[in-house]
Structure 1
Amino acid sequence: MTAQTDVQEFRAFLQEFNIQEFRPLRPTFTDPNPRETASILDQAADYVARVGLHQGMWWGGDPLDIHNCPVCISGAVSAVIYGSPATHRGTPEQDALRRRAWNALRERLSFGGSPVFWSDTPGRTAEDVVGFLRSTAEALRRLADGLPAGEHRPVEPVRVQGERL
């Protein structure tokens, strides 16, 4: 079984039980400047699209050319905020912006947990990560515009043959 097969099987499981991999931002989710956070996530998506996805560490490749190495989702956000995928601390303003971006990403994952673990799932692609970053940015823009972040689809109960619910 390959890593790509693992992701395909997981997606088939989600689809079979009508489960969304990502959830909308809850109406109670707050961000003092969702447009700024959305811009950071769009830039992080552009960064991953440009340099590629790296799994297992913040960045990989030639350490002498760190700004053109593949990055994980965390490295992409750091590259945009701090100027380097290898930096995870900066000014208080930068650190607050990183927390805001990270909170939005974590909020969107249906099963909770870390965006890093999601990004590092074997078989995950750069396109998956770019799509997740962009869709979260769009959800933040909708929040800023006062629009619903998305609708929760009702989940049909799983029925055993002949069972009445």
Structure 2
Amino acid sequence: MNKISPVFREAARLIESNGLAKEAMYSSDDLPVMQRPMCTVGALRAAATGHPLNCRSVTVAEAVYFLARTISPGKDPMLRLMRWSDIPGRTAQDVATALRKAAQDAEAEGR
């Protein structure tokens, strides 16, 4: 099992510093990719792999599953997390708070 608590903390930092993107992994701004606003999943991917589109990571999959089970019941964790992140009115601070809580919960489980 991979350590996911640091991924949650870094994703929270990225969302707070860059902003929250809606309906896209990251914004199309003319900034370097790692400085653009990202959605929750994009921030988790960037935190774990260095790029918001890189989904080839067991750590990303574990983090997505862990966070999704705490915020929204259902079958497809990736889709649930993307929908949760895109809810109108959801703020970067809301997401960063959820990510930090996930980091604490994961750390309590030794993850």
C-alpha RMSD over aligned residues? 1.8
Map 1:104-143; keep pairs closer than 5 Å. Answer: 104-112=66-74, 114-143=80-109
What TM-score do the two structures reach when normalised by structure 1? 0.60
What TM-score do the two structures reach when normalised by structure 2? 0.86
Partner of 2:63: 101
Distance 1:142 1:71, change over 3 A: same
Distance 1:79 1:120, change over 3 A: same
Give % identity. Answer: 30
- What is the CA–CA distance in structure 1 between the aligned matches of 2:31 and 2:18, rounded to whole Å? 15
- What is the CA–CA distance in structure 1 between the aligned matches of 2:11 and 2:37, rounded to whole Å? 12
Write out the 4+ residue segments of structure 1 that deviate beyond 4 Å after TM superposition: none
Partner of 2:47: 80
| 1:93-150 Cα shifts (integer Å, max 9, x gaps) | xx111111011111102433511110000110000000111101111111229xxxxx
Q: Which shifted more, 74-83 or 119-128?
A: 74-83
Partner of 1:48: 15
What is the aligned residue count?
Answer: 107
Give unmatched runs, 5+ long, in structure 2: none
